[in-house]
Structure formats: structure tokens, C-alpha cells
Amino acid sequence: MTYEELKNQKDFDVNLNYSISEVAILAPSFDTFGGDEPIVTISKVEPFNYHPRDYRDTALDIFDWLEAVKLAQKLALTPLNERGKAINN
């Protein structure tokens, strides 16, 4: 999976520049009074490195949360040199 493919997911808000070293899939969170928080972060610099957040802290149902984690895992398993550039439009 490339960053562009992840960005084009219609069901999720993706921030390709969440931090210098991470990409984030965002969703409404109970911790921020309805604001968007990362539900999973994926490293831009370390392959296989992604961190899902407990779905109970998000406003997503379990199936949407699982889909976001699957997308993150797919990107994390893609070699860094095959992901393309992480540029938000």
C-alpha cells in the first residue's frame, strides 16, 4: 500500500504529516470532547511499526476500528521505499 492509497480511503480521515515520523488515521475521540484524535499511527521511518489505540477511546464501532487497523497494518508491512511520499493535499 502507498501513502496515496491510504489517503484516498473514503471512510477515514488520514493525516500524512501527523508528525515528522508518523502518519495517522484519525477519528472522533471521547477524550477530546468530540475532536479527532489518532486511532492508529504508522511509522514513516521504521518498517512494521504501527500503534493502534484502544477502540473504546474512540467514537468508532469495533468493525470500523478493525478496518482502520487493517489499513495501518497493510501500510506498515509495505517496504518504506515502496510507499511513495507522505504529502497531504
User: Tens of pLDDT along 11-49?
Assistant: 899 999 999 999 999 998 877 676 789 999 999 999 999
Q: What is the mean pLDDT of the chain?
A: 90
**11-47 core/surface letters (b: 16 or more CB in 10 A; e: else):** ebebbbebeeebbbbbbebeeeeeeebbbbbbbbeee
pLDDT of residue 88: 66
Which residues are bridge partners to 20 per DSSP?
none
C-alpha cell at 76: 506498515
Closest Cα partner for 74 from 53, 47, 39?
47
Let me know if 70 is exposed, middle or buried by CB neighbors in 10 A (0-12, 13-18, 19+).
Answer: exposed
pLDDT of residue 36: 87
